[in-house]
C-alpha cells in the first residue's frame, strides 16, 4: 500500500511562523511536523510515499530528500497552481497504482492506520474517511454515519446551525485507485466539496471509520503550542527522540547546563543549547538547536526554534520565537506573543501579550510593543457573524480596521469593478464609510456613494446601478455600547455567501492587498437611489385604495433618517403620520396602526389600533397575505410553523423551506426588487395596501389568521460543548422523523422542536410548536433541560 502526504499548505493562520516556513515544516519538539507523519506511516508498514508540494517546495524537498534517511521512499509532485485536495492527489496518479492512504503533513496524530485500512477492506469501500471527535467542529467537515459506518451526511466547514455532530473528517482517507477516475486532471477539485458529496449522491460505498487516539490539526497558533504541550505530557503515542534524564525532562546531545540552572518539567532541550548560571526553565518550555539563554533569565511555556539568543535577566512567558531571534537584556514578553525570524528586540523593551512581530523587524530599546507589527489585530474568531461584522465603535471597529478590511475585499475583485457604499446617519458610521471608500479607490475599485441609507436601499441600489457588490455601515445604538455593523452585499443584492465571507477573512488575515498608483478607482456620488426606490415601491401598491382609507399611523423610529425619507411616499398615499414612542398610546393618538421600525430598515414590529402587538407568527402571516398577487415564490425558514406554509399555498404562493439565515430566505426569489421579509418599508406599505383592500381594521383581521402555538428558549452552552450536544440530540432521537436543514428539527406526535446552535454566542436556541401553548412550552422546556444535561 502507498500513501500521499499533502504538504502544499501555506498555513496563513500560523503566520508569522509560516512566513518563511511551509506549514508541514513547523517544528514540534525540534522536529518538522511532517516527520511525525512519515514515522506514523512507516510504523504501519507504508514506506512508498508521494509528497504534494506547492508553497516553498524546496524547503521540504531539501529537508527530507529521497526519504532513505527515514527508512522510506519519497517521490515529490509539485503544483504550479492550486489543485485542491483531490486535484493534488490526481497529480500523483502515475504513482498511485494500488490502494493508497491520503494524509496531511501538517497534522499530529497517533491514530491506528492499520485498523482503518482493515475497516476499509471489510466493507469493500471505495473510499473511507478516518473520523474523530472534536469540541469545536466549525473548521472541519462534519460527518454522520449509520450503524455500519456508511456515511449518510457530509458537510464541509459548517456554520453552528449546520453542526449535527462533533464527529469530523480528519483529512485522512483510505482510497481505491478507482477514486482517481472521478477527479478531473489539472483542475482545482476538492475531496470534501466535490468528490465525496458526489459519491454520497451516487450511493457509492463511502464509509467513515471513527478512530480513537490523538489527532490535532495544526491550524492556529494556540493549537500549535498545545500540540507540543500534549507531546510533553505523553498524550500522543509517538516517539520523543531525546533522552529523558528525569520525569518529563528531555535533553538531546551536547547540552550545556550550568550548575545553578533550575529545570521544572515537562521541558524539551535540543542540541547545543547553553543555559547559563541562574537560568530558570519552567514547565512546557521547548528550546530549539543552538539556543543560548544568558544568566538570570526566566522561561515558562516558551517555544523556541533554532539559533536564538536570549540576554540577561529577561523573562519569556508563553511566547513563541522563530529562528535567529536576538533578545537583549531585561526584556519581558507576554503570553501568546510570537516573534518571527531574524528579529531583534532591544534591551528593557516589553512585548505585550498576543503581539505578533513579523520577520526581520527591530524593536528599539525600552520600547513597549502593544500592537502587532505588520499583522495587526489578534484573531480570536471568524470576522463574520449572523448579519455581517459587528464590534464596538472605535474599539473593535476602527478606521484602521475597515481600511484593511476594504483592501482585502478589493483584492478579490477585478480592477475597475464598481462597489456601492452607504451608511446610516450616525457621524462615526459616515466616517467609516469614507475610510472604506478611500481604501477601495486606492486598490483600483470604483465606488458609488449612495449617501445616508439602510440595508434595503443599498440592496436596491446595487442592482439598479449594476454594481458587483456593496458595503453598508450602520450604528446599532441599542443598549449602552455603540455597536457598528458592516454588511456586505453581492451583485444580486443579497448578503454575501459564507464562501465569500471566508475569502474576505483569508485575504484580511493574509494581508493580501493590491495597491497601484497607476490604477486608482474613481469615486461617484449617487444620491437619487432613495427617490428611485420609493417610485419603484409605489408601483407595487394599490395607491387609490390606500388614499381612500386616509390611514393615520403612529411610527416609532430613529429621527435622523426615516421621517425625511418616508415623507414623499406617505404624502402621495394620503397617510397621516405621528412620530413618537409606541408607549405614548396608539388609541390615544387615534392611529390605525402602530409601527416600531428597526433602525436599519429590515425589520419592524406592528401594533393594532387597540395597542396589541402582533406575534412573530402573526406578523409573518400578515406579510404573506400582503404578498398575494405580488410574489409567486417565497422562502420560509425551517423555524416557521406549518400553518404559514398552508396559508401560502391557499394564496397560490410557492413556499421553499430554507435555513434561518437571511441570505437563504432571500435567494429563493433573488430576482425580486424587494424582499418582503427583509424590507420593513416595503412590507409595511404592502400591508397597508392589503388592509385598504379588505376595508377592515387590523384587530378584526387578526382573528382570521391561523393560530400558531410557539415557544422559544435560549440555553447557555459553551462553544466546546455544542458539537457534543448536537450529537447527543441525534443519538437520543434515532428512529424519529428528523429534519437537518438547519440545526436539528425533531418531529413529535405533539408538534416539533428545533435545536439551533447560535453562531455568535455561547447559546443554543430551542424553538418549538405544539397543538396548544402548553404543549409547545413543555416541548421547549424538555429539550432545554436535556441540552443542559448533555453538557
The full length of the chain comes to 791
For residue 381, the model assigns a pLDDT of 44
Three cell numbers written together for 389: 461584522
CA of 438: how far to CAs of 106, 394, 396, 512, 523, in Å?
Answer: 39, 18, 20, 17, 9
| pTM beyond 0.95, yes or no | no
Is residue 480 pLDDT above 60, yes or no? no
Three cell numbers written together for 676: 418582503
Residues 6+ apart with CB under 8 A from 324: 307, 308, 341, 342
pLDDT in tens, 650-700: 999 999 999 999 999 999 998 888 998 999 999 999 999 999 999 888 999
The fraction of the chain above a pLDDT of 90, given in percent, is 71
Answer whether 60's CB lies under 8 Å from 166's CB: no
274-275/292-293 β-pairing: parallel
pLDDT classification of 133: cutoffs 50, 70, 90: confident
pLDDT in tens, 48-63: 999 999 888 999 999 9
pLDDT classification of 478: cutoffs 50, 70, 90: low
Answer whether 299's CB lies under 8 Å from 316's CB: yes
**pLDDT average, residue stretch 179-185:** 92
pLDDT in tens, 705-723: 888 999 999 998 888 788 8
**Partners of residue 470 on adjacent β-strands:** 420, 489
pLDDT classification of 602: cutoffs 50, 70, 90: very high
**pLDDT average, residue stretch 375-392:** 66
Is residue 479 pLDDT above 60, yes or no? no
The fraction of the chain above a pLDDT of 70, given in percent, is 97
pLDDT in tens, 742-781: 999 999 888 999 999 988 778 899 999 999 999 999 999 9
For residue 138, the model assigns a pLDDT of 72
For cell 458537510, the residue is 155
For residue 379, the model assigns a pLDDT of 36
More confident call, 185 vs 381: 185
Distance CA 101, CA 109 (A): 14
Cis peptide preceding 248, ω within 30 of 0: no
**pLDDT average, residue stretch 503-528:** 84
**Partners of residue 155 on adjacent β-strands:** 142
pLDDT in tens, 221-251: 999 999 999 999 999 999 898 999 999 999 9
633-637/654-658 β-pairing: parallel
689 backbone dihedrals φ, ψ, rounded to 5°: -60, -45
For residue 587, the model assigns a pLDDT of 82
Three cell numbers written together for 178: 478507482
Cis peptide preceding 266, ω within 30 of 0: yes
For residue 376, the model assigns a pLDDT of 35
Domains of the chain in sequence order? 2-217 (3.90.550.10), 242-369 (2.160.10.10), 389-516 (3.40.120.10), 532-702 (no CATH), 709-790 (3.30.310.50)
Is residue 422 pLDDT above 90, yes or no? yes
Is residue 728 pLDDT above 60, yes or no? yes
**pLDDT average, residue stretch 421-439:** 96
Distance CA 31, CA 700 (A): 76
Answer whether 202's CB lies under 8 Å from 225's CB: no
Distance CA 196, CA 129 (A): 9
User: What's the mean per-residue pLDDT of the chain?
Assistant: 91
For residue 385, the model assigns a pLDDT of 83
Residue 561 CA, chain-centre distance (Å), reads 33
Three cell numbers written together for 438: 478611500
For residue 374, the model assigns a pLDDT of 63
Distance CA 357, CA 373 (A): 5
Is residue 789 pLDDT above 60, yes or no? yes
Three cell numbers written together for 99: 490502494
pLDDT classification of 785: cutoffs 50, 70, 90: very high
Answer whether 666's CB lies under 8 Å from 635's CB: yes
Q: Considering only CA atoms, which of 560, 388, 406, 407 is closest in space to residue 485?
A: 388
Distance CA 597, CA 577 (A): 13
For residue 160, the model assigns a pLDDT of 67
Answer whether 108's CB lies under 8 Å from 227's CB: yes
Amino acid at each position: 500500500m502507498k500513501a500521499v502526504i499533502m504538504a502544499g499548505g501555506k498555513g496563513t493562520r500560523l503566520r508569522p511562523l509560516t512566513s518563511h516556513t511551509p506549514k508541514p515544516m513547523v517544528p514540534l519538539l525540534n522536529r518538522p511536523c511532517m516527520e511525525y507523519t512519515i514515522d506514523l506511516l512507516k510504523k504501519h508498514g507504508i514506506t512508498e510515499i508521494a509528497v504534494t508540494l506547492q508553497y516553498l517546495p524546496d524547503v521540504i524537498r531539501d529537508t527530507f530528500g529521497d526519504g532513505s534517511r527515514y527508512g522510506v521512499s519519497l517521490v515529490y509532485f509539485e503544483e504550479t497552481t492550486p489543485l485542491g485536495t483531490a486535484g493534488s492527489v490526481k497529480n500523483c496518479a502515475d504513482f498511485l497504482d494500488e490502494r493508497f492512504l491520503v494524509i496531511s503533513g501538517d497534522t499530529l496524530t497517533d491514530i491506528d492506520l492499520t485498523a482503518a485500512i482493515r475497516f476499509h477492506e471489510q466493507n469493500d469501500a471505495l473510499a473511507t474517511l478516518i473520523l474523530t471527535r472534536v469540541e469545536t467542529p466549525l473548521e472541519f467537515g462534519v460527518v454522520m454515519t449509520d450503524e455500519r459506518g456508511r456515511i449518510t451526511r457530509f458537510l464541509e466547514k459548517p456554520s453552528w446551525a449546520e453542526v449535527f455532530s462533533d464527529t469530523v473528517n480528519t483529512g485522512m482517507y483510505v482510497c481505491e485507485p478507482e477514486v482517481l477516475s472521478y477527479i478531473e486532471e489539472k483542475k482545482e477539485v476538492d475531496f470534501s466539496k466535490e468528490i465525496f458529496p458526489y459519491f454520497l449522491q451516487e450511493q457509492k460505498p463511502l464509509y467513515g471509520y471513527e478512530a480513537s487516539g490523538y489527532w490535532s490539526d495544526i491550524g492556529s497558533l494556540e493549537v500549535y503550542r498545545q500540540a507540543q504541550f500534549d507531546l510533553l505530557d505523553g498524550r500522543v503515542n509517538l516517539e520523543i527522540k531525546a533522552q529523558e534524564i528525569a520525569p518529563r525532562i528531555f535533553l538531546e546531545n551536547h547540552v550545556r547546563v550550568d550548575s545553578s540552572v533550575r529545570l521544572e518539567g515537562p521541558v524539551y532541550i535540543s542540541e547545543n543549547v547553553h543555559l547559563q548560571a541562574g537560568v530558570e526553565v519552567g514547565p512546557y518550555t521547548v528550546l530549539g538547536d543552538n539556543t543560548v539563554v544568558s544568566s538570570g533569565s526566566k522561561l515558562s511555556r516558551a517555544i523556541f526554534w533554532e539559533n536564538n539568543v536570549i540576554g540577561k535577566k529577561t523573562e519569556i512567558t508563553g511566547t513563541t520565537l522563530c529562528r535567529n531571534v536576538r533578545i537583549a537584556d531585561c526584556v519581558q514578553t507576554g503570553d501568546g506573543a510570537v516573534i518571527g525570524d531574524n528579529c531583534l528586540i532591544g534591551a528593557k523593551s516589553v512585548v505585550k501579550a498576543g503581539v505578533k512581530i513579523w520577520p526581520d523587524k527591530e524593536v528599539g530599546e525600552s520600547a513597549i510593543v502593544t500592537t502587532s507589527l505588520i499583522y495587526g489585530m489578534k484573531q480570536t474568531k471568524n470576522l463574520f457573524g449572523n448579519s455581517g461584522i459587528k464590534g464596538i465603535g472605535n474599539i473593535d471597529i476602527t478606521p484602521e480596521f475597515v481600511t484593511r478590511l476594504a483592501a482585502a475585499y478589493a483584492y478579490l475583485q477585478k480592477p475597475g469593478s464598481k462597489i456601492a457604499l452607504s451608511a446610516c446617519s450616525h457621524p462615526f458610521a459616515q466616517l467609516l464609510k469614507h475610510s472604506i471608500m478611500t481604501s477601495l479607490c486606492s486598490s483600483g475599485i470604483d465606488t458609488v456613494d449612495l449617501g445616508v441609507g439602510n440595508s434595503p436601499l443599498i440592496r436596491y441600489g446595487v442592482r439598479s446601478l449594476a454594481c458587483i457588490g456593496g458595503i453598508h455601515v450602520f450604528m446599532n445604538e441599542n443598549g449602552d455600547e455603540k455597536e457598528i455593523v458592516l454588511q456586505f452585499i453581492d451583485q444580486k443584492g443579497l448578503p454575501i455567501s459564507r464562501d465569500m465571507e471566508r475569502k474576505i477573512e483569508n485575504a484580511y488575515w493574509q494581508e493580501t492587498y493590491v495597491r497601484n498608483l497607476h490604477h486608482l478607482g474613481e469615486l461617484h456620488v449617487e444620491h437619487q437611489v432613495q427617490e428611485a426606490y420609493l417610485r419603484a415601491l409605489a408601483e407595487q401598491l394599490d395607491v387609490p385604495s390606500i388614499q381612500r382609507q386616509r390611514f393615520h399611523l403612529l411610527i416609532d423610529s430613529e429621527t435622523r433618517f426615516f421621517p425625511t425619507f418616508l415623507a414623499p411616499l406617505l404624502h402621495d398615499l394620503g397617510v397621516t403620520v405621528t412620530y413618537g414612542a409606541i408607549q405614548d398610546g396608539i388609541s390615544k393618538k387615534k392611529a390605525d396602526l402602530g409601527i416600531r421600525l428597526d433602525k436599519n430598515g429590515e425589520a419592524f414590529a406592528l401594533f393594532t389600533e387597540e395597542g396589541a402587538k402582533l406575534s412573530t407568527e402573526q406578523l409573518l402571516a400578515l406579510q404573506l397575505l400582503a404578498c398575494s398577487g405580488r410574489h409567486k415564490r417565497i422562502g420560509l425558514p425551517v423555524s416557521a410553523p406549518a400553518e404559514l406554509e398552508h396559508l401560502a399555498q391557499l394564496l397560490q404562493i410557492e413556499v421553499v423551506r430554507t435555513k434561518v439565515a437571511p441570505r437563504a430566505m432571500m435567494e429563493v426569489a433573488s430576482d425580486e426588487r424587494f424582499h418582503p421579509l427583509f424590507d420593513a418599508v416595503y412590507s409595511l406599505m404592502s400591508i397597508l395596501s392589503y388592509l385598504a383592500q379588505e376595508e377592515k381594521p387590523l384587530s378584526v383581521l387578526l382573528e382570521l389568521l391561523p393560530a400558531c402555538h410557539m415557544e422559544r428558549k435560549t440555553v447557555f452552552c459553551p462553544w466546546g460543548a455544542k458539537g457534543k450536544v448536537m450529537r447527543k440530540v441525534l443519538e437520543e432521537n434515532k428512529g424519529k422523523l428528523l429534519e437537518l436543514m438547519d440545526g436539528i428539527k425533531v418531529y413529535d406526535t405533539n408538534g416539533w422542536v428545533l435545536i439551533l446552535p447560535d453562531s455568535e454566542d455561547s447559546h443554543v436556541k430551542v424553538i418549538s410548536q405544539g397543538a396548544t401553548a402548553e404543549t409547545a412550552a413543555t416541548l421547549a422546556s424538555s429539550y432545554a433541560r436535556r441540552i443542559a444535561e448533555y453538557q
